[in-house]
Structure 1
């Protein structure tokens, strides 16, 4: 039933194939795991296929080591008409011990789509706890900041026909 599965956690071991040249887990591998968790969470919430519209504010706090048990937790923190803001925390640690430390955090925006690929309505999420209200308000503030950043970034987008900066 859509609107009832608000969060999920993926758990697995970081493998040698995930390693970068420095011997730690590659940031790209972590970003893939984040996208997988965001999709699973969003699809579970709305009961539809979802696409990634935005991933931002990715903070790599600590490295993940090969062999660590990795937990990628995803939670709906805001819903729009067709979009869902998913808060992601990545934690990792030695599988022989119960402690997991925060390694990465970010927000991913997923959009539900119908069979024709058009945006599709999602169930509304209403925060109830104080923590959820805080996360909801944070998502709203982040939307405002993204609008400002988007306007600034538009000046850096190159026009496909020239090397000049696009005026819009």
Structure 2
């Protein structure tokens, strides 16, 4: 089974990850998301990638210090140079067998060449029904982002 479109990290949350409430800081979780998604995008594209969008980040439950953390990422859509990655973050106490979902989001990278110009990526073709649904979800989000951008354009100095 080809898993070149997926990446999974597992590690233990550390005391240095703590926020003022005693849980793992949301910014630390966002860093983990970026690292896992970058690894996934870089593996898929086989070239350097830059983050161009992070959206729909949702924090469901806090992660406690000392828990086992799992960050799963997978390609769900590719454009000519873009790679859309879905990321899900889970954690569990060592005494628990099952991971509990804590966070998810979509993060988009663009593959670039040595001059920083967009570089073509191989197309991702979904194989399972779930992958087809995720690709459809990604294309819907893309259209929504364009609508929001056009709606907000008068308020931005581009």
CA offset digits 1:85-130 (Å, max 9, x no partner): 0000000011232211000000000110111111101010111110
Q: Does 1:110 align with 2:109?
A: yes
Q: Name the counterpart of 1:162.
A: none
Q: Does 1:129 align with 2:93?
A: no
Q: Name the counterpart of 1:20.
A: 19
Q: Any idea what SS the aligned residue of 1:44 has? A: helix
Alignment of 1:36-75 (within 5 A): 36-75=35-74
Q: Any idea what SS the aligned residue of 2:133 has? A: helix
Which consecutive unaligned segments of at least 5 residues does structure 1 have? 160-167
Structure label with greater radius of gyration: 1
Contact 1:50 1:110 in 2 (8 A): yes
Q: Name the counterpart of 2:82.
A: 83
Q: TM-score, normalised by structure 2?
A: 0.95
Aligned residues, how many? 157
Contact 1:4 1:45 in 2 (8 A): no
* Moved segments of 4+, more than 4 Å: none
- The alpha carbon displacement at 1:52 in A equals 0.4
C-alpha distance in 2 between matches for 1:129 and 1:89:
19
- The alpha carbon displacement at 1:4 in A equals 6.3
